[in-house]
């Protein structure tokens, strides 16, 4: 362990550290299992108090810190869209020439700030395809035993369709702070578009949400999105993980009625999962709430090639029981066969996620209610 971390957190500092979203109930469960401690209900509300009483070892602390950093450093993407009413006018013209980010965020007592004065710029000279990159610096006074500042990157990408009908918005974030900032900026930009007549005032931002689909169509949406990537930049190989639960609002058919009172959440892990009867046999789809698929791909870019796993997930459907949970896509793991030293892993991940952008919105339009 780094010698600078000479003081282990305890009491309220440990409580705040363990309660953050970056540490899951599975992370805590793994530590307690190694100690020979088992819970019938492993929710954090039950397990965290025990770790606060007993404390954590330097090894356990290092393990948890690394897990939080890995999750926060990993880029995640939400995709939104809104109808465009500006005709042939350039998308960049719809952006205020000067955006006061601190004013937009309006969080004077928060423990983070946006660095510098970021603004939107055209991508490759195309004023209908623009982006803003930003960095957030977070101060965490509870981490006196560790570095008390951390930096996270975020990006907002807007692209006007070729037919001038809508604008897609990709919100790329790495932490809760960058997610909040990206959302606030996108809302401000849309409001400015409405004020200047680029977007009709009654138009609403379209998000990809869990309750946009029937149970059957949600399965079809996730299948098509994850499996129909069959080109060199990103090529589907296998389905490795499926998360679902029985729909409590429906009566299950006799052959899967055993799930009714016993299954709250089921995760299948393995290979060729898209060929299992749960997925292959469409007669079951209307009875299952599928919220997660993890798929394996090969990829081939100019500077690198290899294999990766990508997660397609309505993550807050289970964690927060939100029926309107928004679709989140992230690269779970990546292994390089070839890679030049000049390109960062996060840039590669962002490129992989960008391969899915147009398909997301098209399939959402096809399968939503």
Q: Which residues of the chain have pLDDT under 70?
A: 1-6, 21-22, 69-73, 140-147
Bin 113: left if φ > 0, else alpha if -120 < ψ < 50, else beta: beta
Q: What local confidence, expressed as pLDDT, does residue 12 receive? A: 83
CB 237 within 8 A of CB 267: no
pLDDT in tens, 232-290: 789 999 999 999 999 989 999 998 888 887 788 888 888 888 777 777 889 999 999 99
CB 267 within 8 A of CB 293: no
Sign, Cα dihedral of 275, 278, 282, 288: negative
Q: Show Cβ contacts of residue 264 under 8 Å, excluding neighbours closer than 6 positions.
A: 245
Q: What local confidence, expressed as pLDDT, does residue 1 receive? A: 45
Q: What local confidence, expressed as pLDDT, does residue 72 receive? A: 58
Q: What local confidence, expressed as pLDDT, does residue 99 receive? A: 85
Q: What local confidence, expressed as pLDDT, does residue 64 receive? A: 85
CB 168 within 8 A of CB 158: yes
Q: Using CA atoms, how far apart are residues 42 and 27, in angstroms rounded to an integer?
A: 11
Q: Dihedral of the CA atoms 337, 338, 340, 344 (nearest 10)? A: -30
Distances in Å between the Cα of 119 and the Cα atoms of 151, 187, 254 are 18, 15, 58
Domain 76-207 has CATH 3.40.50: no
Distances in Å between the Cα of 74 and the Cα atoms of 55, 93, 128, 236 are 28, 32, 28, 21
Q: Using CA atoms, how far apart are residues 227 and 282, in angstroms rounded to an integer?
A: 16
Q: What local confidence, expressed as pLDDT, does residue 218 receive? A: 98
Residues facing 269 on adjacent strands: 241
DSSP 8-state class, residue 209: B
Q: What local confidence, expressed as pLDDT, does residue 120 receive? A: 96
């Amino acid at each position: 362990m780094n010698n600078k971390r000479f003081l282990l957190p305890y009491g309220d500092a440990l409580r705040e550290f363990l309660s953050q979203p970056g540490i899951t109930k599975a992370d805590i469960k793994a530590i307690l299992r190694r100690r020979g401690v088992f819970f019938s209900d492993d929710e954090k509300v039950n397990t965290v108090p025990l770790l606060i009483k007993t404390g954590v070892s330097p090894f356990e602390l290092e393990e948890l810190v690394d897990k939080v950093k890995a999750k926060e450093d990993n880029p995640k993407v939400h995709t939104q869209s809104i109808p465009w009413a500006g005709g042939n006018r350039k998308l960049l013209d719809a952006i205020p020439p000067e955006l006061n980010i601190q004013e937009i965020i309006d969080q004077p007592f928060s423990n983070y700030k946006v660095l510098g004065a970021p603004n939107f710029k055209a991508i490759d000279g195309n004023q209908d395809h623009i982006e803003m990159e930003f960095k957030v610096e977070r101060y965490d006074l509870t981490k006196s035993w560790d570095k008390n500042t951390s930096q996270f990157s975020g990006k907002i990408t807007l692209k006007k369709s070729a037919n001038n009908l809508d604008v897609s918005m990709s919100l790329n974030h790495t932490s809760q702070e960058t997610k909040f900032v990206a959302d606030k900026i996108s809302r401000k930009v849309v409001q400015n578009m409405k004020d200047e007549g680029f977007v009709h005032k009654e138009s609403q931002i379209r998000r990809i949400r869990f309750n946009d689909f029937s149970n059957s169509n949600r399965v079809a949406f996730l299948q098509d999105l994850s499996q129909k990537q069959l080109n060199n930049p990103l090529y589907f190989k296998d389905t490795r993980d499926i998360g679902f639960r029985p729909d409590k609002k429906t009566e299950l058919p006799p052959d899967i009625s055993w799930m009714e009172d016993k299954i709250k959440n089921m995760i299948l892990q393995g290979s060729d999962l898209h060929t299992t009867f749960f997925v292959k046999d469409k007669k079951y789809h209307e009875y299952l709430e599928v919220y997660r698929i993890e798929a394996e791909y090969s990829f081939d870019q100019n500077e690198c090639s290899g294999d990766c796993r990508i997660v397609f997930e309505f993550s807050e459907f289970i964690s927060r029981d939100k029926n309107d949970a928004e679709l989140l896509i992230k690269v779970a793991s990546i292994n390089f066969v070839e890679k030049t030293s000049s390109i960062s892993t996060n840039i590669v991940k962002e490129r992989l996620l960008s391969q899915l952008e147009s398909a997301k919105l098209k399939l959402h339009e096809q399968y939503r209610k």
